[in-house]
Amino acid sequence: MSVTPFTYLAEKYKNDIAMIWIDAHPDITLPEDKTYNGYHAMAATAIMGRGDDGIVSLLSAKIDADKILFVGLRDWERQQIKDRQQEYGIKHLTAQQVSNDSSKILDWIRSTGAKHIVIHFDMDVLDPNEIIPAVGVVADGMKIDEVTRVINDIAKEYDVVGVTVAEPMPRTAIRLKNMLEKLPLMD
């Protein structure tokens, strides 16, 4: 998970860092939220220094909300999370806003003044009509080529010091493996 390396890098670069969070979900759940208590949905809040005190106290630094940009969001899961994003002041761009070029992302990075960038790529941001590599299958996501272009465009102009990839779920391979194990071919 991106929490530890990203907060380490925030400390290393003296908070001269911005974070691009490419994901279908904002991952700003808090421990007291009763509807979902999975830690992976709390990663962005932990990076901001919010959430579980036991986890946050172990982190060496934090990244402020004004240095975080969500890209590809399309599933807040409930209004409480959408409201929290607005309360924190975290900006976001939809898959449609970045489908043709990365200029809005690059403009946002420029506005932060940050020289170093960390990128979190959660595979559920990808459009399930093209590929289903993750657990989530919310329609109208980013295309593989769009995610690749976005990350490469950022890297052309900024010092990308960290990239994390989350939620790979090779469900097709798992299903095929399970099917083949039931055949007399695999003894």
**Domain 3-181 CATH (choose: 3.40.50.1820, 3.30.70.260, 3.40.800.10, 2.30.30.40):** 3.40.800.10
**CB 94: neighbour CB atoms within 10 A?**
15
Strands (E), 63-187: 68-71, 91-93, 116-122, 159-166
Tens of pLDDT along 125-144? Answer: 999 888 876 666 788 899 99
Average pLDDT score over residue span 49-76? 92
For residue 166, give the 3-state DSSP assignment. strand
Predicted TM-score (pTM) of the model is 0.88
Q: Where are the domains of the chain?
A: 3-181
Phi and psi angles of residue 91, each rounded to the nearest 5 degrees, phi first: -75, 155
End-to-end CA distance of the chain: give it in Å, rounded: 37
Q: What percent of the chain has pLDDT over 70?
A: 93
